[in-house]
Amino acid sequence: MQPNVLGYNESTRIGKPQMNPDLETPRLILREECLEDAERLFSYRQRPAYWQHIPCHPPTRDDIVAQIAHFLPQQSAHDRTMFFWVAIEKATCLVTGEASLWLLPDHGAEFAFAVDNRHWRKGYGSEIVRGILRFGFHSLRLHRLCAQVVPSNIASIALLRSLGMVEEGVLRERRRARGRWFDLAQFSMLEQEYARRGF
Ligand SMILES: CC(C)(COP(=O)(O)OP(=O)(O)OC[C@H]1O[C@@H](n2cnc3c(N)ncnc32)[C@H](O)[C@@H]1OP(=O)(O)O)[C@@H](O)C(=O)NCCC(=O)NCCS
């Protein structure tokens, strides 16, 4: 079967978009990451507010450069499975957040997101997640999108709930970082739930 206009094959449904996967929300552009973003990402990822509820080690500038460089080939990969975006505030053209999505078997994907803490509670996190859900369900035609969050991450959990994502349970001591174990609460949305919500 021929790929359709968006570049994915209807027989597999999993998107292999040939299109530019940049996304737009009312106040943000989600553009694929490039090496020039490293400095700006480092400026907020180094703050405890960023990684406090994320099971990771505080990243160095070099870690961020290496991570971007590692995933750059994905942007032109034929069978791409990962997407990394920076969220650019339209009003200022500055990076104010980020998002990522990676495909899982059986028409699924997991995503993650963050906002520079100088811009929290302005609705940017919700815009980013709405953009990701739209990309996953509309463009990639996925069946299920999920996100995993440390249970102490009240902000992220409230955001996911407010968009209708359903908590499925807690993966106990799923990740190890900073010398300790982290539980992860899993949230998901299915394509029929997304269609009912209509955003
Ligand atoms: C989670 C995060 C992305 C939220 O971003 P944000 O731009 O502040 O979120 P929004 O402004 O869109 O908030 C949406 C809703 O989430 C809830 N919320 C957000 N921050 C909250 C907080 N600190 N406490 C309680 N509820 C909160 C509220 O219901 C809010 O709606 P309201 O402002 O109308 O009350 C941000 O706190 C962040 O980047 N944290 C660090 C990274 C992270 O934890 N990422 C998620 C792991 S994948």
Q: How many residues are present in the chain? A: 199
Say yes or no: CB of residue 155 within 6 Å of ligand 1: yes
**Does 17 map to a domain?**
no
pLDDT recorded at residue 3: 34
Q: Say if 51 falls within a structural domain.
A: yes
How far apart are the C-alpha atoms of 170 and 191, rounded to whole Å?
Answer: 22
Sign of CA dihedral 14, 108, 178, 43: positive
CA nearest to 37, candidates 94, 118, 83: 94
In this prediction, residue 20 carries a pLDDT of 63
Q: Is residue 126 part of a domain?
A: yes
Write down the pLDDT at residue 198: 77
Mean pLDDT of successive 10-residue stretches along the chain, which has 199 residues: 36 46 94 96 94 92 96 90 96 97 97 97 98 96 98 98 98 97 98 91
Q: Is the CB–ligand 1 distance for residue 59 below 6 Å?
A: no
Beta carbon of 121 within 6 Å of any ligand 1 atom: yes
Which tokens in the block code for residue 199? 């955003």
CATH number assigned to the domain comprising residue 65: 3.40.630.30
Ligand 1 within 6 A of CB of 55: no
Expressed in angstroms and rounded, the spacing between residue 115 Cα and the centre of ligand 1 is 8
Asked if residue 86 belongs to a domain, the reply is: yes
Phi, psi of 160 (to 5 degrees): -65, -40
Smallest CA separation from ligand 1 atom 35, residue: 121
**Total domains, the chain:** 1
Residue 138 forms part of a structural domain: yes
Does residue 53 belong to any structural domain of this protein? yes
Of all protein residues, whose CA lies closest to atom 43 belonging to ligand 1? 114
- Does any domain span residue 98? yes
In a domain, 42, yes or no: yes
Nearest alpha-carbon partner for 85 in 144, 25, 151: 25
- Provide the residue range defining the domain that includes 56: 23-197
Structure confidence at residue 21 (pLDDT): 80
